[in-house]
Amino acid sequence: MAIGTESLARASAKRPWGTVAIWVLLLVAAGLLTSALLGDALTTSITFIDEPESDRALELIEELRGEQIGTEIVVVTAETATAGDPEHVGYVNEIQTALLASAAVADVGSYLTQDGPMSESGKTALLPVTLAGADMDELSANAETIGEIVSGIETPAGFTALVAGPITLNNDFNTIAEEDLATGETIGIGVALVVLVLVFGTVASGVVPIVLGVVAIGLAMGTAALVGQVFDLSFFVTNMITMIGLAVGIDYSLFIVSRYREERHNGHAKLEAIGRAGATATRAVFFSGLTVVMALVGMLLLPNTLFRSLGLGAILVVVAAMAASATLLPAVLSLLGDRIEALRVRRRSRDGRQGRVWDLVTGLVMSRPVMSLVVSVGILIGAAGSLFSMSTGLGGVSTLPAEIESARAFQILEAEFAGGVTSPVEVVVAGQAAVATAANLETAIAADAGYGPSFLDPGSTDELAILSVQLRGDVASIDSMDAVRHLRADLVPTVIRPGTEVLVGGQTATTVDFVAQTDRYTPIIIAVVLGLSFVLLTVAFRSVVIPGKAIFMNLLSVGAAYGLLVAFFQVGVGPAWMKTVAEWLGFTQVETIEAWLPLFLFSVLFGLSMDYHVFLLSRIKERFDQTADNTESVAYGLRSTGALITGAAAIMVAVFSGFAAGQLSSFQQMGFGLAAAVLLDATVVRTVLVPASMKLLGAWNWYFPSWLEWIPKISVEGHAHELPGSPETEPMAA
């Protein structure tokens, strides 16, 4: 017998305890893998695979200096006291002595020992701290230790001591990310349960999809821990798995449980109802999941660990949700039986009220299809208005909440020194007369007001020299990125000699290379995703019009999400009322939208939009195959899926909004962008644009050229009315 969604559902329902036992073992194994391996597999850094200029510069830097050692800075500032005052000297000396006594520290400098800078005002001293340890985990722990040591020293009145540096910044990002993850989970699960109970009318029906979502997350986490032993994963992968897992895991179960309850209320016996749900709803889930995976595969094509981690995490949890929906969910339904209706909070509608509401909406839209089409497209285009003002980069310390220590330290550094003192641009000169070339470049940089002080590494040789250039302001700002581009394009060519190579590296250069790489690959990935989606939908619905129309609509909703994202978050763009709402919601205003976000949003939103489209069209196609009446089929599709898609969208909006409620600007942008797009897609697109366009196109919706008849017939929607099985009926328990 061929293995399909129906056969899997029937087999799982007939052996429910065995199926549940297998899943329990899988979850236990996944939990053990997660606790033992996942922590070591995660990294906060972005690793390139195609070796851009910043990576090649890093290799030469390590050749001269050895493997990079963690260096942090303790910032000591006073309101009135200056260097040389007994109080200032005593406090700096106490901090330096305490740090030198710690095993977490290899060396500490200060102005007292002639190896630490002092501000021109004489009030602020920097203590460079070389951390002990070789790997990132040890350096991270030691950075926390020096923070504890500094905070444990009694601070004299009028003084402030803060720890800054790239490792401390990473620690702060990780801490806030964990807090944001907990916030997102709490809000998402809480609101999802409320929505599910309202949609189904019973607590039991509402709990089951959440359990399935959590199961998918657990399995994906364990799988990610295994994959992380092969290559490093970005720490974002856990947030991605949780967010997407809650969204799709709950949604997939929502559609299947709803179809099962529908079949039971139509009088089919329990196992028959599970089989019919497996042949229809689970089949649609499979194709929807496949579409989501195809959209996410594009992120795996980018040669850096951030995109590959985001794409991999989302794919793993979508596949896990598909597997749980196809096997575990039928087993759970078999065990629960009619107890799925337990703890009812409202009476089941028997008068078709919801159907009449959706019939009314559909009737209004399809009676004025041209006006409906123009208005809905106009809304989406209007929302996309700010799209072309988007600037991209990576969030830096200036995007952190103001009360975070790294952000406070940065404000002092920016006021008293160059803001980029902790992460300078590293210019590497390799070849003949390297030191002389670096000296010439230093002279050119000194004449440019866009840069701070520069220093030649004392270990430089005639064959390899390093010039450290401090930037003014946040190293992740637009001005800093422009300074690196100016350095590469304009200043370096004026000093380079034959036989000499000059490479610009450092944190800001890495950001510039990341943005350039993303811009270069984005058109390719969009073309791949659109092409794969068109092929899949053509095969699934045997129409070339439906896929083209679906792609056009999804591009409109993605463009609208981009525009709203820019208007709400980017400084100087968007109407004043949007900025007021953004301030009320606690959104951080930024110079740049996260560079990874547009392509990420496209991949995820395109997949999720297709998700709803497949669910809706599968019911329309199921009816059209029975009646050949396009108008009535569209009305039937909206009537039978309207409440479900609205509920599913509400759950996704709740989950994504939970992440938007966090403190990190990157998570705020991600959660808002996803929530806004899903909301637009489930309302403007599915409720107005889809029925209006299908009415206007009529029978052309299902146009399929004769020369494509060789393509195998694969039905997404299944045909519940033709399913084999026992004719026996069994009334549903009250």
* DSSP, residue by residue, 419-464: TTTTS-EEEEEEETTHHHHHHHHHHHHHT-TTEEEEEE-TT--SSE
Average pLDDT, the chain: 85
CA distance 267 to 89: 86
- Kindly report which listed range (123-137, 218-232, 368-382) carries the lowest average pLDDT score: 123-137
Question: Could you tell me which residue, 247 or 24, shows the higher pLDDT?
Answer: 24
- Mean pLDDT along residues 261-284: 87
- Mean pLDDT along residues 105-132: 88
Residue 493: the pLDDT is 92
Q: Is the pLDDT of residue 221 over 90?
A: yes
Of the CATH numbers 1.25.40.850, 3.40.350.10, 1.20.1640.10, 1.10.1270.20, which one belongs to the domain with range 5-43+171-385+512-701?
1.20.1640.10
DSSP for residue 682? I
Q: How confident is the model at residue 258 (pLDDT cuts 50, 70, 90)?
A: confident
Token duo for residue 618:
């599968």
Percent of the residues in the chain that have a pLDDT greater than 90, as a whole number: 28
> In Å, how far from its chain's centre is CA 708?
38
CA distance 247 to 656: 8
Residue 82: φ, ψ to 5°: -125, 170
Nearest to 94 by CA among 121, 79, 74, 118: 74
Residue 69: the pLDDT is 66
- Mean pLDDT along residues 144-165: 90
Q: Each residue of 449-469: pLDDT tens digit?
A: 888 888 898 888 889 999 999
Nearest to 98 by CA among 144, 158, 152: 152
List the beta strands (DSSP E) in 294-420: 392-393
Q: Is the pLDDT of residue 716 over 70?
A: no
Residue 574: the pLDDT is 85
Q: How confident is the model at residue 717 (pLDDT cuts 50, 70, 90)?
A: low
- Mean pLDDT along residues 180-192: 79
Cβ-Cβ contacts under 8 Å for 409 (sequence gap 6 or more): 73, 75, 162, 163, 164
Residue 24: the pLDDT is 96
Q: Each residue of 423-453: pLDDT tens digit?
A: 789 999 998 888 999 999 999 999 888 888 8
Residue 721: the pLDDT is 45
Q: Is the pLDDT of residue 610 over 80?
A: no
Q: Is the pLDDT of residue 244 over 70?
A: yes
Q: How confident is the model at residue 723 (pLDDT cuts 50, 70, 90)?
A: very low
Provide the 10 A C-beta neighbour count for residue 683: 16
User: Do residues 447 and 514 touch, judged by C-beta distance below 8 A?
Assistant: no
Token duo for residue 200:
């189904």
Q: Is the pLDDT of residue 205 over 90?
A: no
Delimiting residues of CATH 3.30.70.1320 domain(s) in the chain: 424-505
Q: Is the pLDDT of residue 727 over 60?
A: no
CA distance 196 to 648: 8
Q: How confident is the model at residue 422 (pLDDT cuts 50, 70, 90)?
A: low
Q: How confident is the model at residue 726 (pLDDT cuts 50, 70, 90)?
A: very low
Delimiting residues of CATH 3.30.70.360 domain(s) in the chain: 66-164
Residue 715: the pLDDT is 62
- Mean pLDDT along residues 528-537: 84
Q: Is the pLDDT of residue 350 over 80?
A: no
User: Do residues 452 and 442 touch, judged by C-beta distance below 8 A?
Assistant: no
User: Do residues 201 and 346 touch, judged by C-beta distance below 8 A?
Assistant: yes
Cβ-Cβ contacts under 8 Å for 452 (sequence gap 6 or more): 417, 418, 420, 421, 469, 470, 471, 472
Residue 99: φ, ψ to 5°: -70, -40
User: Do residues 529 and 599 touch, judged by C-beta distance below 8 A?
Assistant: no
Nearest to 585 by CA among 573, 571, 569: 569
Residue 449: the pLDDT is 84
Residue 419: the pLDDT is 55
Q: How confident is the model at residue 43 (pLDDT cuts 50, 70, 90)?
A: confident
What are 392's strand-pairing partners? 593
CA distance 338 to 560: 43
Q: Is the pLDDT of residue 356 over 60?
A: yes
Residue 176: the pLDDT is 83
Residue 68: the pLDDT is 62
Q: How confident is the model at residue 722 (pLDDT cuts 50, 70, 90)?
A: very low
Q: Is the pLDDT of residue 665 over 60?
A: yes
Strand pairing category for 42-43 and 233-234: parallel
Q: How confident is the model at residue 1 (pLDDT cuts 50, 70, 90)?
A: very low
User: Do residues 392 and 598 touch, judged by C-beta distance below 8 A?
Assistant: yes
Most confident listed range (41-45, 60-64, 371-375, 601-605): 371-375
Residue 201: the pLDDT is 79
Nearest to 188 by CA among 605, 669, 656, 681: 656
Token duo for residue 569:
């978050």
Of the CATH numbers 3.40.50.10190, 1.20.1250.20, 3.30.413.10, 3.30.70.1320, which one belongs to the domain with range 424-505?
3.30.70.1320
User: Do residues 252 and 285 touch, judged by C-beta distance below 8 A?
Assistant: yes
Of the CATH numbers 3.40.50.800, 2.170.120.12, 3.30.70.360, 3.40.50.620, which one belongs to the domain with range 66-164?
3.30.70.360
Q: Is the pLDDT of residue 50 over 50?
A: yes
Q: Is the pLDDT of residue 734 over 70?
A: no
391 by DSSP, 3-state: which? Answer: coil
pTM of the model: 0.81
Residue 482: the pLDDT is 92
- Kindly report which listed range (373-387, 570-584, 597-611, 674-688) carries the lowest average pLDDT score: 597-611
CA distance 323 to 17: 17
Question: Could you tell me which residue, 502 or 732, shows the higher pLDDT?
Answer: 502
- Kindly report which listed range (176-185, 290-299, 537-546) carries the lowest average pLDDT score: 176-185
Q: How confident is the model at residue 351 (pLDDT cuts 50, 70, 90)?
A: very low
Delimiting residues of CATH 1.20.1640.10 domain(s) in the chain: 5-43+171-385+512-701
